[in-house]
């Protein structure tokens, strides 16, 4: 498996209050990687480190096969970026914004840019400062896509947008991935939104990557079990017990990762039984993994 993004033991600190701590991240080439985490988890800081906008205190960053920030010019020439906050001069018209960005990108596709402008219903003579939040979001996505990047980095691209605009923006991303086999790193705290489009997921909290795995494995292997008569200690467990909640009586609730149907036999072998196996959607799993990770840190 080749990687579009790889970090090893990445370190960065902001004063004494926040740090990215020993971050090992792996974004497969051609994947749509959902970078999930609550506000303040460190997603934007990590993205800025990946793009050479911040200099790490330690560790290694490779993007599109090149070290960062040492090779930032060649990497950024092949990367489309939609930042968390708009970065286009408000005094420009939409047409002028396109002309300005076109000048910096040799791979800019005029035909594709015009197609997207029409698709997003952006009037060429409208001032950027007069655009609605949804229209601004569409313009930023247009500017990133029109340069035909190998890597698309999206930092909360649909935050605060209405459902129709979110759908249009995500549809354009999926169409681009299908057409160009590009890699997408998309950061968001809107977990349900990414469940439909991502094939990999990384969960970040307090500057740490607490999980990284294929989306299908995350969705199919993360379960909540109701277990009866479980012993206090467990050995040789074929799955990962992320959290174990002991309730009054003999029934416990377990959050587990890596569960498969045949693993009932292990539960029976330790003198217990499974009363219920509950599937979790991505948002439920995300919340439970955050809770169990924070409990382990305390």
Residue with tokens 């109701």: 226
Mean pLDDT of 30-45: 92
Tell me: the pLDDT tens digits for 121-132?
A: 999 999 999 999
Q: Residue 93 — very low, low, confident or very high, per pLDDT cuts 50/70/90?
A: very high
Q: Residue 141: its pLDDT value, please?
A: 93
Q: Residue 159: its pLDDT value, please?
A: 79
Tell me: the pLDDT tens digits for 138-182?
A: 999 999 999 999 999 999 888 778 888 888 888 889 889 888 899
Mean pLDDT of 108-129: 95
pLDDT exceeds cutoff 80 at 294: no
CB-based contacts of 93: which residues, under 8 Å, 6+ apart?
124, 125, 126, 127, 128
Domain chopping of the chain, boundaries: 3-206, 217-297
Following DSSP, what letter does each residue of 107-173 receive, concatenated? T--HHHHHHHHHHTT--TTSBGGGS-HHHHHHHHHHHHHTT--SEEEEESTTTT--HHHHHHHHHHH
Mean pLDDT of 240-266: 84
The model carries a pTM of 0.87
Closest CA to 54 of 44, 63, 62: 44
pLDDT exceeds cutoff 80 at 282: no
Alpha carbon dihedral 131, 134, 135, 137, in 10-degree steps, equals: 110
Q: Range with the lowest mean pLDDT among 41-50, 80-89, 90-99?
A: 80-89
Peptide bond just before 69 cis, omega within 30 deg? yes
232 vs 116: which has the higher pLDDT: 116
Q: Residue 296: its pLDDT value, please?
A: 65
Provide the mean pLDDT of the chain: 90
Q: Residue 196: its pLDDT value, please?
A: 81
What percent of the chain has pLDDT above 70?
Answer: 98
User: What's the CATH number of domain 3-206, 3.40.50.300, 3.40.50.2300, 3.90.180.10, 2.60.40.10?
Assistant: 3.40.50.300
Q: Residue 298 — very low, low, confident or very high, per pLDDT cuts 50/70/90?
A: low
């Amino acid at each position: 498996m080749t990687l579009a993004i790889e970090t090893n033991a990445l370190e960065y600190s902001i004063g004494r209050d926040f740090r990215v701590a020993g971050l090992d991240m792996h974004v497969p080439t051609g994947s749509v990687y959902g970078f999930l985490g609550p506000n303040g988890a460190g997603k934007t800081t990590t993205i800025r480190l990946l793009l050479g906008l911040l200099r790490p205190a330690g560790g290694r960053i490779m993007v599109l096969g090149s070290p960062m920030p040492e090779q930032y010019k060649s990497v950024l020439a092949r990367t489309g970026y939609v930042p968390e906050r708009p970065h286009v001069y408000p005094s420009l018209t939409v047409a002028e914004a396109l002309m300005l960005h076109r000048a910096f990108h040799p791979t800019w596709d005029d035909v594709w840019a015009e197609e997207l402008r029409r698709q997003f219903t952006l009037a060429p003579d409208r001032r950027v400062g007069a655009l609605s939040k949804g229209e601004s979001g569409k313009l930023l996505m247009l500017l990133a896509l029109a340069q035909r990047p190998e890597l698309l980095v999206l930092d909360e691209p649909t935050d605060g947008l209405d459902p129709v605009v979110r759908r249009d923006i995500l549809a354009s991303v999926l169409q681009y991935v299908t057409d160009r086999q590009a890699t997408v790193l998309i950061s968001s705290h809107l977990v349900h939104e990414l469940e439909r489009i991502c094939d990999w997921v990384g969960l970040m909290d307090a500057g740490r990557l607490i999980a990284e795995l294929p989306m299908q494995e995350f969705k199919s292997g993360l379960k909540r079990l109701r277990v009866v008569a479980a012993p206090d200690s467990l050995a040789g467990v074929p799955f990962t017990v992320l959290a174990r909640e002991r309730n009054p009586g003999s029934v416990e609730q377990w959050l587990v990762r890596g569960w498969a149907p045949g693993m009932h036999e292990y539960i029976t072998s330790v003198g217990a039984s499974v009363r219920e196996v509950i599937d979790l959607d991505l948002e439920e799993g995300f919340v439970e993994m955050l809770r169990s990770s924070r409990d382990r840190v305390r």
